[in-house]
Structure 1
Amino acid sequence: MIFEEQISRKPDRYPWTQDFIEAMHNGFWTDKEFSFSSDIQDFRVSLTEQEQEIIVRALATIGQLEISVKKFWAKLGDNLPHPSINDMGYVMANTEVIHGDAYERLLEVLGIDDAFDEILELDIIKGRVNYLRKHLHKFHSDNKKQFVYSLILFTLFVENIALFSQFYTISWFGRYKNVLKDTNKQVEYTSREENLHAMIGMKLINVIKKEYPDLFDEELKEKIIHEANEAVKYELQIIEWIVNGYGEEKLNSEILKEFVKNRMNESLKEIGFKKIFDVNKELISKTTWFDEQVLGNNQSDFFHSRPVEYSKKSKSFAVEELF
């Protein structure tokens, strides 16, 4: 059972962890791979003032979350005390360190690191930070139920929802404006890893649900649905603030809002909850390029059975192998 401590490394009761670990190892990168030299020129010359503002706000918002929120996975083995799960948590935590360093450096290189401090004073950012830290809040006196609550909130909100409208926005500029090449590549790497982390979190949730079904009672379900609605409310406000009236083919606030709501729906579905948002399928169809291009081109995507590649090297992993 996943909450019961295992001292010996053998037998590995959760061997699927090794597939995830190998996938993360094969995708290893650091911020030193990018010079951002052409990006600096693109930012100063090739973008309008409104587009510059969108890039600044999107990158600062990504950086704020990557740098300040992510300590969860390093403690995974404290709650699920199995050697292989502990190892997986440390590998995940290492990638979060890389993400934090990478976005801190990117903001500095582009000369917009002041924006990072400035956005922290905004009410919508403060509200977002508060909801993203709800996984730390005390929900239940039962430690197992408390951990399940925290794991669901962290997996869905921090890993799978909060950054993806910003990832989409930056990637759109890379694809449709042909600018910010290195920034776009960094976002591509990051978005794939965040997606993989979400897959891991959902796998853990479903394993716990199978072994401890009593933990997933109506009290927990109602709490999760309430928090999911609150999370999306803040994300929609963030989208309005970042996009600020900008409208182009496949990039505007309405498309991004549907994108986020759909991503929340699919996240809930994957852990056995009902979808809670009505979405405009026509607008969602305009976002498929992100799944196909940014999340890769060699493997089945977690949500849509579209191609996804999580490795920079030749080794690939099918979703059915990981699950």
Structure 2
Amino acid sequence: MERKTIYNPSSVENLNDRRTFGGNPDGMINFTKCKYEWASRLWDQMEANTWFPREVQMTQDAKDYKYLTPPEKRMYDLVLSQLIFMDSLQTNNLMDNINPYITAPEINACLSRQSYEEANHSKSYAVMVESISDNTDLIYDMWKTDAKLKEKNNFIAGTYKNLSGDISDKKIVLAMFANQILEGLYFYAGFAALYALGKSGKMLGSSQMIKFIQRDEVTHLLLFQNMINSTKKERPELFDDELEEEVRTMFRQAVDLESSWGDYITQGQILGFTKNIIRQYIEYLADRRLEAIGYAPEYNVKHPIPWVDGYSSFNDQRTNFFEGNVINYSKGSIDFDDF
């Protein structure tokens, strides 16, 4: 499969002929005529969610950080370093490895918006690191010095590398699943860990920053889940038993990796987290992601820490997290039924 032609005036593709990939678009983005209405709605949601990292108040976090316990400080630094890697990777991955092969203009637009948001998250982490660290390189370079962090980063980067180059229809579909897993699993142990600090009254600005980031990640998750489901309708022959087993293997590997990572960053020393709780939480998320794309759950477990969902919600804003007008951005809540 070759990359799509950016400017293609000879295209005679009509709206009904449009495909998530493998189509022949003319290169124009026309939001008045969208085949994938979910993409248009998602664009509006992403736009409504616009926010700016510098407006989240981090002054108290700079003070709190000095009084974190050594396990809490270690966890905070490791989580930040890992999140920096994933959003850096995703900023480029979307534009270099995914969007060039997607042939629905409205989906191209959403992927471009997502890439911007991933870069914005990297800016968010910079604000957090600059607020609490006298030597920012210590956190940015942790992937070079921490073997467990490097192991996780190498696995995720390796997955993307294996699904790029010499592109085929199947590789495109598997890449969609890989992105669903990244957005829906690989961020969540770190998010929950930082929420745990916020729940105990520490690093409240960081918790609020993660809320905004996670709200963006939910739209990114919805984007890839809808891309998968739309492709399934257009190309049902690709979704055979062999593909399902490959996808389930990807999910099992992701659950093992993220659970191991969550145990490593908390080490049984963060209130509310044990090795079993972390694994069950990741298994629960994996089941929800599988169900969203029409597969039966793999683990059949209950949510072990439902307080995390409540804590990450924008329905109960804590105004002391903010300065200025950031609270105005809380309007962008997400209704999954719309997608």
State TM-score, norm by structure 1: 0.85
How far is 1:36 from its partner?
A: 1.5
Percent identity, please.
19
One of 276, 288, 291 as aligned partner of 1:254 = 276
One of 32, 40, 43 as aligned partner of 2:65 = 43
Superposed CA deviations along residues 22-61 of structure 1, whole A, max 9, x for unmatched, are 111111112211341110111112x222222222222222
1:71 equivalent to 2:92? Answer yes
1:291 equivalent to 2:298? Answer no
Structure 2: which amino acid aligns with 1:143? S
Matched residues in 1 for 2:160 and 2:262: separation? 22
| Residue 301 (structure 1) aligns with | none
When residues 139 and 272 of structure 1 are mapped into structure 2, their CA distance, relative to the original with a 3 A threshold, is farther
How far is 1:103 from its partner?
A: 0.7
Superposed CA deviations along residues 115-170 of structure 1, whole A, max 9, x for unmatched, are 331233333223212332213314997722110011111111x1111111110110
1:200 equivalent to 2:223? Answer yes
1:26 equivalent to 2:69? Answer no
Contact 1:67 1:104 in 2 (8 A): no
Give the aligned CA root-mean-square deviation in angstroms: 2.3
Superposed CA deviations along residues 194-232 of structure 1, whole A, max 9, x for unmatched, are 122111110110000011111112222222222221222
One of 52, 56, 59 as aligned partner of 2:73 = 52
Contact 1:136 1:150 in 2 (8 A): no
| Residue 243 (structure 1) aligns with | 266
Contact 1:36 1:183 in 2 (8 A): yes
Superposed CA deviations along residues 64-87 of structure 1, whole A, max 9, x for unmatched, are 222234323335442221221111
1:173 equivalent to 2:197? Answer yes
How far is 1:100 from its partner?
A: 1.0
1:89 equivalent to 2:111? Answer yes
Secondary structure at 1:160 match in 2: helix
Matched residues in 2 for 1:34 and 1:236: separation? 30
Contact 2:287 2:298 in 1 (8 A): yes
Matched residues in 2 for 1:220 and 1:180: separation? 43
Structure 2: which amino acid aligns with 1:191? Q
| Residue 256 (structure 2) aligns with | 233
| Residue 150 (structure 2) aligns with | 126
When residues 14 and 125 of structure 1 are mapped into structure 2, their CA distance, relative to the original with a 3 A threshold, is same
1:62 equivalent to 2:83? Answer yes
How far is 1:260 from its partner?
A: 0.8
Structure 2: which amino acid aligns with 1:130? N
Secondary structure at 2:141 match in 1: helix
One of 101, 105, 115 as aligned partner of 2:123 = 101
When residues 238 and 30 of structure 1 are mapped into structure 2, their CA distance, relative to the original with a 3 A threshold, is same
Matched residues in 2 for 1:34 and 1:313: separation? 12
Matched residues in 2 for 1:130 and 1:217: separation? 29
Between 116-125 and 226-235, the greater mean CA deviation after superposition: 116-125
| Residue 136 (structure 1) aligns with | 161
State TM-score, norm by structure 2: 0.81
| Residue 305 (structure 1) aligns with | none
Contact 1:27 1:313 in 2 (8 A): yes
| Residue 145 (structure 1) aligns with | 170
Contact 1:77 1:83 in 2 (8 A): no
> Where has structure 1 moved over 4 Å in runs of 4 or more?
138-142
| Residue 319 (structure 1) aligns with | 336
How far is 1:317 from its partner?
A: 5.0
One of 164, 186, 205 as aligned partner of 1:162 = 186
Give the aligned length.
302
Between 183-192 and 238-247, the greater mean CA deviation after superposition: 238-247
| Residue 233 (structure 2) aligns with | 210
Contact 1:245 1:252 in 2 (8 A): yes
Contact 1:265 1:277 in 2 (8 A): yes
| Residue 5 (structure 1) aligns with | 24
One of 48, 64, 80 as aligned partner of 2:102 = 80
Superposed CA deviations along residues 225-246 of structure 1, whole A, max 9, x for unmatched, are 2222122222122112100121
When residues 59 and 317 of structure 1 are mapped into structure 2, their CA distance, relative to the original with a 3 A threshold, is closer
When residues 34 and 313 of structure 1 are mapped into structure 2, their CA distance, relative to the original with a 3 A threshold, is closer
| Residue 285 (structure 2) aligns with | 263
